[in-house]
Chains A and B, each alone.
Chain A
Amino acid sequence: MSQKPIDEITGTETTGHVWDGIRELNTPLPRWWAWTLYATIIWAIGYWIAMPAWPLLTDYTRGVLGHSQRAQLGDEIAEVKAGQSALAARTADASLADIRTDPELLEFALAGGRSAFAVNCSQCHGSGAAGGKGYPNLNDDDWLWGGKLAAIETSILYGIRSDHDESRANEMPAFGKDELLAPGQIDAVADYVMALAGNGSAAAKGKAVYDEHCVACHMEDGKGNRELGSPNLTDAIWLFGEGKAAVVEAVSNSRRGVMPAWIGRLDRVTIKQLAVYIHSLGGGE
């Protein structure tokens, strides 16, 4: 070993590194400190053996203790589920109205509903339930099939135009595509529908077409019929877009959305929670 230069002031040898005339001291390390480092290295080796550590090509070393964070999470979820079983059982027995008035069940329903909504409903209705063109906004006070708790639950259970026997369903004819109405008639009835909502004045020609072809579902006053799921044409909410062009498009080609039935996919408790959650968003009746 070659002789390292010694710093005169401290008597400590230096590393030989010099920066702007400043030499780095090679200050002695306490021996216990070095032993601590070796101990951590030994600990690391033990840890590799005991715990999952090394990635392999398709797998990883599992470790002899069999520790797995995923399994741990599974256990924790099972534990939480077990802890919720009493509340879930009470939710199953309670009516929707009872759930709303019981603070404990309500809190459980809102939390469960929020998470179930995020997983199952947000794809179409949006994470804030604001919907989009063709997908109803669940925050507002306009309901195609009714905004009471029971009506919301029915919609979730059996869906809209789903393949379930109990499904809510209706069908508006494609007046233009199927040549039931002439383009001029469609234009006139669109003007009439705009007038119903307070935009423009109604013309007699449009009213005649409306009375013949639309009244059965949308009713005389244009307010629709929730029994049939026919939309209210007099309000400010337009599922398939605002303005006359959108109305012409709807009358000509007919537009309809589909919502699956959730019975069988989600358990009854979750569906109840979803109904209460959606009812709470601001439009519930």
Chain B
Amino acid sequence: MAEKPAAPASERAPAAALETVETVDVKAVNTRDVRALYKKREKIFPRRARGSFRNLKWAVMAVTLAIYYLAPWLRWDRGPLAPDQAILIDIPARRFYFFFIEIWPQEVYYITGILVIAAMALFLFTSLAGRVWCGYACPQTVWVDLFLAIERLIEGDRTARIRLERAAWSLSKIAKRLVKHVIWLIIAALTGGAWVFYFADAPTLFVDLLTLRAPEIGYITVGVLTATTYLLGGLAREQVCTFMCPWPRIQAAMIDEESLIISYHPGRGEPRGPSGRGGKRDGLGDCVACNQCVVVCPMGIDIRDGMQLECISCALCIDACDGVMDRFDKPRGLISYDTLANIEGGESTGRARIRWLRPRTVIYGVIIAIVGSIMLAALMTRPALDLNVLRDRNPLFVTLSDGSVRNGYTLKILNKLHAVRDYRLSVEGLPGARIKVIGRDDGDAVFTVRPDRLASFRVFISTDRANLKGEVTDMRLVLTDRQDGARADYETNFRGPRR
């Protein structure tokens, strides 16, 4: 976070030049006197901010966009029998591949764990430093930032854009608007296009998409995501954060007076006002009422009104204000990351006292550590063989002509190895058990399962009626890998007639 020491006065513009700083005529979109029952959307023309937070946001944008667009193209060797895409959500085969991790449908609890960790991390970061997710990493923020950069490139910065907006339709206005929307649509299409690569082999799908051989659902997905990206990122922008997203409402419960939030320091800034002749600021605070913090805000709000739900904590107002403070030869940080406790405690600048360790941050951290450890342990001990048994319920048992009793079972054997395996079935806890495998005439209870597959087998187990003590006999089916001796067992029971 930019907390650069103020540069010595000699390096900066002389104070006499400061009178030229004008007050921009701008009003926050949510200011009291513009509120009505039904509100017309007010167009926001954010000015480009310059400073360390702007640079940080460019960097985060580059990294997140690079991850999004490039991740499906990463390769990961899993042998000849599995896809070599590092990150792949293979819906037809019901597999999720993430580098060395491979998740089967019955292991969705890993996803639950990841979601728990993600939620807790979001809570932790929010309680530490407010809505950093919203301000830097949220896709909505990143794409709006990208779309705004395009808009600035085509139509110019704030003043030029306002002028263009107010101008009558002319060829040049039409041309500018057309170019902007076409570029937006291309970005939107690329965004939707990249999404589908997570669900199929990226190079193959890329060729298929271009040669119109991809499945219909691929084009539909690309089309829908193109539309939503264009609509949400290009047209709706701040409306999404303010009116559609639940997070601004939830954040109030995450933030406390010790959280770092984007704060204006009224004790230092007020009363605000432009400088008088010769840069005189008799009785005025440090805020020169230039409204730069408002014009750079992508949400169109005035941070000087205090914390508000529209604020996504993008910190661009800090950059804007720091720039102005530099020119006025005043210390930076009139707007900065600070805690409510510090502001109310009267400390005007800096992070004099930040309590990183608070009950809620500790609890979030502990939960993340616990869930993370459980996930790691589960992942390390993940078995390569799994057995599930469905006992026939209709009929519960069959009496055979020689008086013995037979039960039917369906075995579901999961071979998570990328190799063919043979498994031998044995029965524990049922005296005199005879196993008959449907479809096998040699009487051997051996099952062959192809690599990376779930296979289903029907098995009949029978025993003499004399071996049964009651209606229900508990027993265990044990499966043993013939190559490496790996075992999987399943507790089930054997039913017979009432004695």
Contact = CB atoms under 8 A, between A and B. Distances in A.
A34 interface: yes
B35 interface: yes
Contact of A236 (B395, B403, B438): B403
A66 B262 CA distance: 58
B399 A236 contact: yes
B395 A29 contact: no
Contact of B394 (A11, A33, A130): A130
Contact of A137 (B392, B393, B395): B395
Interface string A26-38: 1011111110000
Interface in B26-71: 32-33, 35-41
Contacts, number: 77
A12 B39 CA distance: 12
Interface string A20-52: 000000101111111000000000000000000
Interface in B181-211: none
A232 B401 contact: yes
Given A11-B35, A28-B38, A30-B39, A282 B243 contact: no
B394 A127 contact: yes
Contacts of A127: 394
Contact of B399 (A11, A31, A32, A140): A140
Interface string B231-269: 000000001000100000000000000000000000000
Contacts of B239: 30, 32
A129 B396 CA distance: 11
A146 B460 CA distance: 21
Contacts of A142: 400-401
User: Chain B contact residues (Cβ within 8 angstroms of A): what range?
Assistant: 20 to 34
Contact of B36 (A28, A128, A139, A283): A28
A280 interface: yes
Given A126-B395, A127-B394, A140-B400, A31 B38 contact: yes
B392 A128 contact: yes
Contact of B37 (A26, A141, A232): A26
A33 B408 CA distance: 59
Contacts of B406: 139-140, 282
Given A11-B32, A130-B394, A29 B37 contact: yes
A232 B402 CA distance: 11
Nearest to A10: B32
B41 A32 contact: yes
A102 interface: no
B391 to A, nearest CB: 12
Contacts of B403: 235-236
Contact of B41 (A31, A126, A235, A236): A31
Given A28-B36, A31-B38, A31-B40, A236 B401 contact: yes
A234 to B, nearest CB: 9
Contacts of B41: 30-32
Interface in A111-131: 126-130
A237 interface: yes
B398 interface: yes
A130 B438 contact: no
Contacts of A235: 401-403
A129 B408 CA distance: 13
Nearest to A33: B243
Nearest to B460: A282
A29 B402 contact: no
A126 B394 contact: yes
A236 B464 CA distance: 12
Contacts of A237: 399-401
B35 A29 contact: no
Given A11-B33, A30-B239, A282-B406, A140 B398 contact: yes
B35 A28 contact: yes
Nearest to A127: B394
Contacts of B438: 280, 282
A26 B400 CA distance: 76
Interface in A212-266: 232, 235-237
A236 B32 CA distance: 90
Given A28-B35, A28-B36, A236 B402 contact: yes
A280 B458 CA distance: 11
B304 to A, nearest CB: 15
Which of B39, B40, B403, B465 is packed against the most chain A CB atoms within 10 Å?
B39
Contacts of B399: 137, 140, 236-237
A19 to B, nearest CB: 18
A282 B398 contact: yes
Interface in A137-162: 137, 139-142
A12 to B, nearest CB: 5
Given A12-B32, A28-B39, 8 more contacts: A26-B37, A28-B36, A29-B39, A140-B400, A140-B406, A142-B400, A235-B403, A236-B402
Sorted from nearest, which 4 A-B pairs have the closest CB atoms? A128-B394, A11-B32, A130-B395, A235-B401
14 contacts: A12-B32, A12-B35, A29-B37, A31-B38, A126-B394, A128-B393, A137-B399, A139-B398, A139-B408, A140-B399, A140-B406, A232-B401, A236-B400, A237-B399
